Amino acid sequence: MRNYNALGLIFANMHDEAFRDGTAVRSMGSLPFGGRYRLIDFPLSAMVNAGITKVGVITKSNYQSLMDHLGSGKAWDLSRKNEGLYFLPPRSSSDAKYQGRIGSLADIIPFLNHSKEEYVVLADCHMVTSMDYSALIRTHIESGADVTIACRHGAVPKLTDIPVLTMDASGHVMDLLLGRVGDEVAYYGIGVYVMRKDWLLRTIAEATARNLYHFERDILQRRLDELVVCGYEVPSLVMPIYSTASYFNANLALLEDTVRQQLFPQKRPVYTKLKDCDPVQYGLHAEVTNCLVGDGAHIDGKVKNCIVFRGVKIDRHAELENCVVMQNVTVGAHAKLGCIIADKNVVFRGGCTLQGSESYPVYIAKNSII
């Protein structure tokens, strides 16, 4: 079912500061995940599955890899004559404006004015989920709310300014805090919002006139008494990415069948850029146990409980356990790695030994030689 009344906007750089190891050379949206995906694939696929055919990707910096990944949007059926995928790079060099959503949205007012859709869906890339956006939009329309916040109940992630919600039985937000208050379990926002486009345009104009740029603090929290804000509890799996350890654990969680079934439902597939790679090659001495291995990899060592991306080469007698190895990494003979996150194009020379822990994995930067 196509939903021509909703426009999708994805913030590719939101929460970059939460995971500086992974976002030093890329945006949060282009962060590799799960052997073949990028984080932006999940909100973008969810929008496409909900019938949203016009999606704008709002960028701030380090978006070259994101542009390379998304291309024309063909993999998501967004390469079309009418509507489709739009890149919305910054028009201002002021970092202050991009500390919140309002500054980014103020720069794309012409894009919003030329869009005919009645509703707008805002989404970040730091939560890995395959939630049903159709149900979210439908709930928002039926509730008559000004803003609907997608939320999840559980341990609040360690994110600055994450919305922590207090709701009544009907789902109306009675109180909204920003940031964790202790180690509480509560309803927290996952960075997905729905609202009418005309309401959003008025809000942007009023906020920028008052030099206000933070959507959650300056709009939702400050005006909570006069706005109708509702929460929509997401029933599907949500895995937040807010640190090196959370990224490491979210990747390794894919080794569980139940997690993969929830994250990749058949009715709502997750699309990504296609690459014509050779099948995985396993050497005569390869021992692979409980791993996800991307195509184009060549393994001739011992690999256990690992996420191995495309084009990885693991030489004979190398040993890897509980590792996340990104694209085109080379592991030399007799190397031993444990609890390591290796970014793209890293080379581990033969005989080296690196050991992290599950609570403190070691991150190796892109293009490093160890």
Per-residue pLDDT band for 93 (boundaries 50, 70, 90) equals: low
Residue 97's pLDDT is 47
The token pair at 162 is 């994450």
Q: Is the pLDDT of residue 95 over 90?
A: no
Residue 99's pLDDT is 61
Residue 60's pLDDT is 87
- pLDDT, average across residues 241-258: 96
The structural architecture, per CATH, of the domain 6-263 is Alpha-Beta Complex (3.90)
Q: Is the pLDDT of residue 299 over 70?
A: yes
Strand ranges inside 224-322, DSSP E: 229-233, 238-240, 281-282, 287-289, 292-293, 298-299, 302-304, 307-308, 313-314, 319-321
What mean pLDDT, rounded, does the chain reach? 92
Residue pair 366/344 in contact by the 8 Å Cβ criterion: yes
Q: Is the pLDDT of residue 182 over 90?
A: no
Q: Is the pLDDT of residue 1 over 80?
A: no
Sheet holding 347-348, edge to edge: 281-282, 298-299, 313-314, 330-331, 347-348
CA dist., res. 234 & res. 136, Å (int): 8
In the chain, where the domains are located? 6-263, 281-364
- pLDDT, average across residues 219-243: 94
- pLDDT, average across residues 154-175: 92
Secondary structure class of 85 (helix, strand, coil): strand
Q: Is the pLDDT of residue 115 over 80?
A: yes
Residue range 186-223, pLDDT digits in tens: 999 999 999 999 999 999 999 999 988 899 999 999 99
Per-residue pLDDT band for 180 (boundaries 50, 70, 90) equals: confident
- pLDDT, average across residues 88-96: 68
Residue 28's pLDDT is 94
- pLDDT, average across residues 98-107: 82
Q: Is the pLDDT of residue 3 over 70?
A: no
Residue 80's pLDDT is 87
Per-residue pLDDT band for 247 (boundaries 50, 70, 90) equals: very high
- pLDDT, average across residues 264-278: 91
Closest Cα to residue 115, out of 44, 54, 206, 47? 54
Which one is the CATH code of 281-364: 1.10.10.10, 3.20.20.70, 2.160.10.10, 3.30.365.10? 2.160.10.10
